[in-house]
Amino acid sequence: MSSITPVANAALFNKGSNWLADTMTAIKNSNNAGGLMGMLSAAAAGNDGSVNTFLNNSAATANAFATISQSSVTNSSALIAQMASQNLQTQNAQKLQDAMNALSATQNMVPKKNTLDPIIYFADGSTIDTNSNIMTQADGTQYDVTTGTKYVDPASIIQMANGAYLDTKNNILTMSDGTKIDTVTGLKVSQLSKTV
């Protein structure tokens, strides 16, 4: 008498795939074969089976392969062109950086100092301080040579809240409306020039 070994765990059958469904799927897939066999079966199925139909289907498939091949060549060419362009841009960027570094090195070789004399003396007694760009006339009046305005040392200026300021070096109070008053005499500066 032969003995049948009982299955120790019946749950193993439930965990596996459904063999009947898998078999049906395999049968359906074998009817839809790909590749050369699929092409041959597609040429024979539903067609008149003539050589002319087979050749027409083969020509259509060959055209599809040619299109795929041409697309591959086009895409490869575009990729190679893009890579070449990126390499060229990288090389140009490196050349530009090298040129900038060389220019920076040459600029550091030039001393950054005033090449004029520190003080230029004129025949009428006036001078120009080339370091501070201040022209001092013989009477002591100073002008900023870059703007042409009268120069007053900022250390000698006291700003008032109403916009007026006091020049402590010359004792001149300039009001916010532009009126200048001599703080020693109390007279307007324009009156002094008329009386003198």
Assigned domain for 108 exists: yes
- Choice among 81-85, 102-106, 174-178, 188-192 with the minimum mean pLDDT: 188-192
Assigned domain for 61 exists: yes
Per the listing, tokens 């089976």 go with: 49
Assigned domain for 174 exists: yes
- Choice among 35-39, 48-52, 144-148, 150-154 with the minimum mean pLDDT: 35-39
pLDDT at 12: 47
Query: Mean pLDDT throughout 37-60?
Result: 68
Residue range 84-105, pLDDT digits in tens: 999 999 999 999 999 998 888 8
Burial 53-87 (b: 16+ CB within 10 A, else e): ebeebeeeeeeeeeeeeeeeeeeeeeeeeeeeeee
pLDDT at 93: 92
Q: Strand pairing partners for 134?
A: 129, 144
Tokens of 52: 């002319």
Is the CB of residue 38 less than 8 Å from the CB of residue 32? yes
pLDDT at 45: 56
pLDDT at 124: 92
What does pTM read for this prediction? Answer: 0.33
Shared domain for 56 and 107, answered yes or no, is: yes
pLDDT at 86: 92
Question: Is the pLDDT at 141 greater than 90, yes or no?
Answer: no
Helices (H), the chain: 11-15, 19-31, 35-44, 51-109, 189-195
Average pLDDT score, the chain: 78
For residue 73, what are the CA distances in angstroms to 69, 82, 86?
Answer: 6, 14, 20
Q: Using CB atoms within 10 A of its CB, is residue 181 exposed (0-12), middle (13-18) or buried (19+)?
A: buried
pLDDT at 23: 77
Residue 183, C-beta contacts closer than 8 angstroms, at least 6 positions apart: 166, 171, 172, 173
Half-sphere exposure of 175 (CA within 13 A, CB side): 11
Assigned domain for 172 exists: yes
Shared domain for 143 and 94, answered yes or no, is: no
pLDDT at 194: 42
Q: Of the spans 35-39, 49-53, 59-63, 157-161, which averages the highest pLDDT?
A: 157-161
Cα radius of gyration (the chain): 50
Shared domain for 145 and 160, answered yes or no, is: no
Q: How many domains does the chain have?
A: 3
Residue with the larger pLDDT of the pair 184 and 9:
184
* Domain residue limits at 184: 153-196
